[in-house]
A and B are shown apart, each in its own frame.
Chain A
Amino acid sequence: MLDLKLEDIDGILVRYNVALEKEMTPDEAAEELYPKDELIYPIAKSIYEGEEDDVVDGLKAAIAAGKNPIDLINDALMVGMGVVSQLYDDGIIFLPNVMMSADAMLNGIEFCKTQTTEVPEPKGKVVCHVAEGDVHDIGKNIVAALLRAAGYDVVDLGRDVPVDEVIETVVKEKPMLLTGTALMTTTMYAFKEINDKLLEKGIKMPFACGGGAVNQDFVSQYDLGVYGEEASDAVKIADFINANGTEIEKLREEFHKH
């Protein structure tokens, strides 16, 4: 086989990822972000490491030292997950780490719940689904996992969800945000139907839409639509709603980048 000389390669292609890689290792970057409290630190670190058992051990120790289990959800589990989310947003760690941390955190929340009769206060409820006729659900799974990781209560309707089931669920659960994922040009039209049926019922709420087939122009065609490109935008949209309210125009200003 012919081959290129080492020095010729850069003129043919540029590995921008290599050129731009951060100096700091992920572990070092995480270390800088952990809370210093000696009971909280090990919990946050175990979340970052995705070690479910260590998370529970850390929680047990903190509870034994007098911490309230429900407070630990916000003060330790969420803080640890916050470290993970920030590192992901900064491009320092990758999605599988986030997924494993999220599993560890959810496991920790379940454990805290078993230690008390108090009920934790989630940041808000979000209903997620994949459009009717569409089975491509990996993007939606990522969206749901990131939302849960950020402290939202997620009702995951799964894939290939009939329009009416989405409407019924929204009526029943009264979420702050509905998300839809579609990867096929043939299935994304369900979003328009959902939009129309929600409006018919007088429900005016943000409907975040994404997935391979979906684009900003399409989503802008119906009143409730807010387009998100990356799974992490779903979290940003929910956070934005908590901070600034549900006005679709404002959301579009913030998230419609094209």
Chain B
Amino acid sequence: MVQKYTSMAYAKADDMLFGNAKFPVKAGLGLEIGAGYATPELNYAPRPQAGKSKDKLVKEYERITTDAMARMVQIGAPSVVLETEHVEQMSNNPDWGAAVAHAQKTIMEEYHDEYGIKCALRHTIGDIREDRDYLQLRGDKYNTFMEAFEQCAQNGADLLSVESMGGKEVFDYSILRNDTAGILFGIGVLGSMDMEMVWSDIAAIAKKNGVVAAGDTDCAQANTAMFIAGGLLDKNLAHTIAIVARAISAARSLCAYEAGATGPGKDCGYENTIIKSISGVPIAQEGKTSTCAHSDLMGNLTMQCCDLWSNESVEYHGEFGGTTVQCWVESLAYDCSMMNTSLKLGKAKDLRDILALSDKYRDPQGYVLAYDNAYRVGEAIAKDGSDNYLRAKNAAVECCNIVEEGIASGKLRLTRFETNALAKVKADLEALTDDSNKFMSDCLTRFKEEVAVFRPENYGL
């Protein structure tokens, strides 16, 4: 059963804060996420050679887990989440993923028993639903995909996640062509449809196994836009378009929670502050501590309302200060310690605002995702919450309005190129129908013709 959100979890933006979610989530060994404290979430990747066999891979993750847990107790961190993002072998062979989950959890239990450290294990299953040329969202691979969740849940994973890919084929085509309708259709319509299907099934598996259906991210689309947009001087995509894609992605990633997930949302979902404002679920975020994985323009801002604070991913190898997982989890833990101190001192809202303001005027993306504006995008989504298309369109329009106001205030300064791109997206959006059935049939006709790899049957169409 999919239950759409039509109202806000928080009465006002100012009620949102890091380390606190309206609906905290208990997970793993003594951990509660969003229950008044922030927790580091470490994410890592095995060295390339380690993927050669199941044994090697399990050993690699044992080393990673032991290193990280050891560092956490060495520095006195009260809690930690470990996130294992599956390499392809672990999801295509569900017993591999299960063996890794089991090995990791065994080590975490030892640490929990000995030191009482609160901890949980997230497994993010790879979205393996594609063959070489086409997405294959509903084909043969679906069963293996679900089996991977099931086996991980049975063998120690406490939190289940995925970075699902629905709509990506239309999006990939559209984003390189400034095709606003295509971006909206790929993320807001196709992506949402696919997520409703996938997350209903994941939620059922989680329930059956007594674990948490955590959440998703629009990595496949909104992050692609963010990466193509790049830094201030890159010329591949307007940042004003990237943030419109991001606003739309909030309407999409929200579908996980409507289908039974409870959070914490995935770290790389930069749309998560918007989602938190609507749903009240705890969220993971990444920022300055994920420079090991990528660069973005809001390294502090993303911390503003996070419940888990993540490093996105780092390859396991040695550094001067220990292994990479030790160095990065330590940085995360000190950031959390700072957030938790501010909570205890009653200064958390000040810290939140400092974090947000230090990036708010850097770029339109940070501007819209600053929690006050993110809340407004949330309202635009909830207003037509039961219509996937309309709410995604609302989010896009509100995003344009917010950026325009920022420019008018003089504080958000954009190049002419950026403002022109904004004007174009806004005009495109205004020209679109309010009738979701018509939008669907227009887009189906057009993209079947223009995008060779688009197969409507992937969405049951």
Q: Are B411 and A18 in contact (CB under 8 A)?
A: no
The interface-forming segment of A2-10, A168-176, A193-201, A235-243 is: A2-10
Q: Are B414 and A141 in contact (CB under 8 A)?
A: no
Within the complex, what minimum Cβ distance (angstroms) separates A121 from chain B? 27
Q: Tell me the residues in window 69-106 of chain A with beta carbons closer than 8 Å to chain B beta carbons.
A: 88, 91, 93-96, 99-100, 103
Within the complex, what minimum Cβ distance (angstroms) separates A5 from chain B? 9
Q: Are A99 and B235 in contact (CB under 8 A)?
A: no
Chain B residues with Cβ under 8 A from A18's Cβ? Answer: 413-415
Pick the contact of B413 from A15, A96, A159, A160 — CB < 8 Å?
A15
Chain B residues with Cβ under 8 A from A142's Cβ? Answer: 176, 236
Q: Are A99 and B176 in contact (CB under 8 A)?
A: yes
**Is B51 an interface position by the 8 A CB rule?**
yes
Q: Tell me the residues in window 89-143 of chain B with beta carbons closer than 8 Å to chain A beta carbons.
A: 130, 132-133
Q: Tell me the residues in window 1-31 of chain A with beta carbons closer than 8 Å to chain B beta carbons.
A: 1-4, 6, 9, 12-13, 15-18, 20-21, 25-26
Q: Are B237 and A158 in contact (CB under 8 A)?
A: no
Q: Are B233 and A17 in contact (CB under 8 A)?
A: yes
Q: Are B415 and A21 in contact (CB under 8 A)?
A: yes
**Is B232 an interface position by the 8 A CB rule?**
yes
Pick the contact of B88 from A2, A94, A133, A137 — CB < 8 Å?
A133
Main secondary structure of the interface of A (DSSP, over half): loop
Within the complex, what minimum Cβ distance (angstroms) separates A162 from chain B? 9
**Is B228 an interface position by the 8 A CB rule?**
yes
In the complex the two chains form, what is the Cα distance from A145 to B177 in whole Å?
Answer: 12
In the complex the two chains form, what is the Cα distance from A189 to B52 in whole Å?
Answer: 13
Q: Are A21 and B416 in contact (CB under 8 A)?
A: yes
Pick the contact of A186 from B13, B87, B371, B411 — CB < 8 Å?
B87
Chain B residues with Cβ under 8 A from A138's Cβ? Answer: 172, 176, 224, 228
Chain A residues with Cβ under 8 A from B372's Cβ? Answer: 1
Q: Are A6 and B350 in contact (CB under 8 A)?
A: no
In the complex the two chains form, what is the Cα distance from A103 to B450 in whole Å?
Answer: 12
In the complex the two chains form, what is the Cα distance from A25 to B236 in whole Å?
Answer: 17
Q: Are B176 and A16 in contact (CB under 8 A)?
A: no
Within the complex, what minimum Cβ distance (angstroms) separates B274 from chain A? 16
Q: Tell me the residues in window 139-193 of chain A with beta carbons closer than 8 Å to chain B beta carbons.
A: 141-142, 145, 158-160, 185-186, 189
Q: Are A160 and B132 in contact (CB under 8 A)?
A: yes
Within the complex, what minimum Cβ distance (angstroms) separates B322 from chain A? 20
Chain A residues with Cβ under 8 A from B48's Cβ? Answer: 185-186, 189
Closest to A97 in B: B178
**Is B315 an interface position by the 8 A CB rule?**
yes
**Is A135 an interface position by the 8 A CB rule?**
yes
**Is B460 an interface position by the 8 A CB rule?**
no
Q: Contact flags (1/0) for A26-38 with B, using CB distance below 8 Å?
A: 1000000000000
Chain B interface category by residue count: 35 or more
In the complex the two chains form, what is the Cα distance from A100 to B417 in whole Å?
Answer: 17
Given known contacts A25-B416, A158-B133, is B176 in contact with A15 (CB within 8 Å)? Answer: no
Within the complex, what minimum Cβ distance (angstroms) separates B170 from chain A? 13
In the complex the two chains form, what is the Cα distance from A2 to B352 in whole Å?
Answer: 10
In the complex the two chains form, what is the Cα distance from A100 to B350 in whole Å?
Answer: 46
Q: Are B361 and A94 in contact (CB under 8 A)?
A: no
Q: Tell me the residues in window 323-380 of chain B with beta carbons closer than 8 Å to chain A beta carbons.
A: 350, 353-354, 356-362, 370-372
In the complex the two chains form, what is the Cα distance from A138 to B220 in whole Å?
Answer: 11
The residue in B172, B235, B354, B358 that gathers the most chain A C-beta atoms within 10 A of its C-beta is B235
Q: Contact flags (1/0) for B22-35 with A, using CB distance below 8 Å?
A: 00000000000000
Q: Are B236 and A94 in contact (CB under 8 A)?
A: yes
Q: Are B361 and A9 in contact (CB under 8 A)?
A: yes
Q: Are A96 and B177 in contact (CB under 8 A)?
A: yes
Residue tally, chain A, CB below 8 Å to B? 38
Chain A residues with Cβ under 8 A from B360's Cβ? Answer: 4
**Is B410 an interface position by the 8 A CB rule?**
yes
**Is B184 an interface position by the 8 A CB rule?**
no
Chain B residues with Cβ under 8 A from A100's Cβ? Answer: 177-178
Chain B residues with Cβ under 8 A from A133's Cβ? Answer: 88
Q: Are B178 and A96 in contact (CB under 8 A)?
A: yes
Chain B residues with Cβ under 8 A from A145's Cβ? Answer: 176
Chain B residues with Cβ under 8 A from A88's Cβ? Answer: 235
**Is B306 an interface position by the 8 A CB rule?**
no
In the complex the two chains form, what is the Cα distance from A17 to B232 in whole Å?
Answer: 6
Closest to B239 in A: A17
In the complex the two chains form, what is the Cα distance from A127 to B322 in whole Å?
Answer: 42
**Is B255 an interface position by the 8 A CB rule?**
no
**Is B434 an interface position by the 8 A CB rule?**
no
Chain B residues with Cβ under 8 A from A13's Cβ? Answer: 358-359, 361-362
Pick the contact of A94 from B235, B357, B359, B411 — CB < 8 Å?
B235
**Is B58 an interface position by the 8 A CB rule?**
no
Within the complex, what minimum Cβ distance (angstroms) separates A56 from chain B? 18
Q: Are B417 and A94 in contact (CB under 8 A)?
A: yes
In the complex the two chains form, what is the Cα distance from A88 to B370 in whole Å?
Answer: 32
In the complex the two chains form, what is the Cα distance from A135 to B219 in whole Å?
Answer: 14
Pick the contact of B357 from A3, A20, A21, A185 — CB < 8 Å?
A3
In the complex the two chains form, what is the Cα distance from A53 to B358 in whole Å?
Answer: 47
Within the complex, what minimum Cβ distance (angstroms) separates A130 from chain B? 10
Q: Are B410 and A99 in contact (CB under 8 A)?
A: no
Chain A residues with Cβ under 8 A from B176's Cβ? Answer: 95-96, 99, 138, 141-142, 145
Known: A9-B411, A96-B178, A189-B48. 11 other contacts (CB 8 A): A12-B361, A18-B415, A95-B237, A99-B176, A99-B177, A137-B172, A142-B236, A158-B132, A159-B132, A185-B48, A186-B48
B interface with A by C-beta (< 8 Å) = 13-14, 45, 48, 51, 87-88, 130, 132-133, 172, 175-178, 224, 228, 232-233, 235-238, 315, 350, 353-354, 356-362, 370-372, 409-411, 413-417, 421
The 10 closest A-B pairs by CB, nearest first: A2-B353, A95-B236, A96-B178, A17-B232, A186-B48, A21-B415, A99-B176, A13-B362, A18-B413, A94-B235
A interface with B by C-beta (< 8 Å) = 1-4, 6, 9, 12-13, 15-18, 20-21, 25-26, 88, 91, 93-96, 99-100, 103, 133, 135, 137-138, 141-142, 145, 158-160, 185-186, 189
In the assembled complex, 7 residue pairs joining A and B whose CB atoms fall closer than 8 Å, in A order, are A2-B350, A4-B357, A94-B417, A95-B237, A96-B177, A100-B177, A159-B132
